[in-house]
Amino acid sequence: MSTKHRLPYLDALRVAAFALLIPYHVGMYYVSWDWHVKSAAASSLLEPFMLLTSPWRLGLLFLIAGAACQSLYAKRGGARGFLRERSSRLLLPLLFGMAVIVVPQAYFEVQTKAPQLLPGDGGYLDFWLAYLQGGNYCRGDDCMVVPTWNHLWFLPYLWLYAVLLGPLLARLQQVRERRLPRWAWLLLPALPLIAFRLVLMPFFPSTHDLVGDFYNHAQYGYLFARGWASRTPLAEGLWAAAQRARWLLLALALLAWALIAVYFQAYAGDQPPPEPLRQCMRVLWALLSWWAIAAACGWAQQLMPREHPWLHWLSGAVFCLYILHQSVIVVLTQWLAPLGLPWGLEALLLIALTGLICVGAYALLRHVPGLRMLLGIGGMRTEAGRAAEGRVMA
């Protein structure tokens, strides 16, 4: 697979993966799982549908990012240029996001869960000033440490993998990967994910705090490396195998999701599942992660073989939309809640309004030079070039 030509299906994968974030995070407002703010109508009704994407959507993003970073490393002339580009591209939006964009999420979380902890008169500006000074907001053992990165955790994790794994993978990319038979692509790449799920996850559950998040580092670092390897001239098997087996991969992923959804529903109460069954479901979760990721890779190639002008534009918008979307959702939930709308109608409004506001913000802010870099928007003259390279937000 050449790294010098634009790959429109990588852009399509990135746009599709981030498009899932808005309905998923809107869904988090309505399910029983913990989140920053919660609807009065929250229940377990949507949880089976949330499980359809939660095992794999973030892993897909890290695989795409690894594929994109492989060509970027060569373009930047090696480790030094690559590190400089990754740091400015990822860390500046992270710092700005933590100081400005994420603040409404933290404010409304405290206001709705523990308003007595709000500083001063409880207003937003008083909270913002206290937030920037740092501290803890605790309800019993549940503490929120500020400043926080919330949904922006993806950026420091990606920066870490790029900086630590990039130079190593660049040295190894000339090693020929053993050619796998077609069936092997269904199972062998999932074996590390299965091992991580069985061995690490029970002891190191997901925290997104960077330090000590060993299960997430193992699975996401592996998928980043797998994506990087897939773009080297000596390791083209993933993309071809995924495209050939796309129907089978889709069927396997849907079957695994159905079994996992039934399992979660059956043991939603206080009764714990039998330990052998729990272990089997962990294996199935890892298999679902790989099957869904590989299916997405196969279908993207099938459905997006050529360039499209709208894909260029959306590809340039994705990073900005990612930075903005969750804060927009949280703010909109507080604005819509007093209207007392049926939760289904409210959810559709949240999805539509979040998409419109984020796209509109990108269309306006891309013309403001001082904000472009802080919101992950490249210079106006380079946006087409970035899209032509097939780069990921990353």
- Reported as a single tens digit per residue, the pLDDT across 54-88 is 999 999 999 999 999 988 888 887 888 899 999 99
Q: What is the pLDDT of residue 327?
A: 98
| 0.85 surpassed by pTM | yes
Q: Which residue ranges of the chain lie beneath pLDDT 50?
A: 1-4, 381-392
Residue 69 · residue 232 · CB < 8 Å? no
Sign of CA dihedral 146, 152, 157, 158: negative
Q: What is the pLDDT of residue 392?
A: 45
Q: What is the pLDDT of residue 124?
A: 96
Q: Residue 29's closest CA among 339, 268, 331, 258?
A: 331
Q: What is the pLDDT of residue 331?
A: 98
Tokens of 125: 């500006």
Tokens of 118: 């709000």
Q: What is the pLDDT of residue 178?
A: 63
CA gap 323, 383 in Å, rounded: 17
Q: What is the pLDDT of residue 177?
A: 61
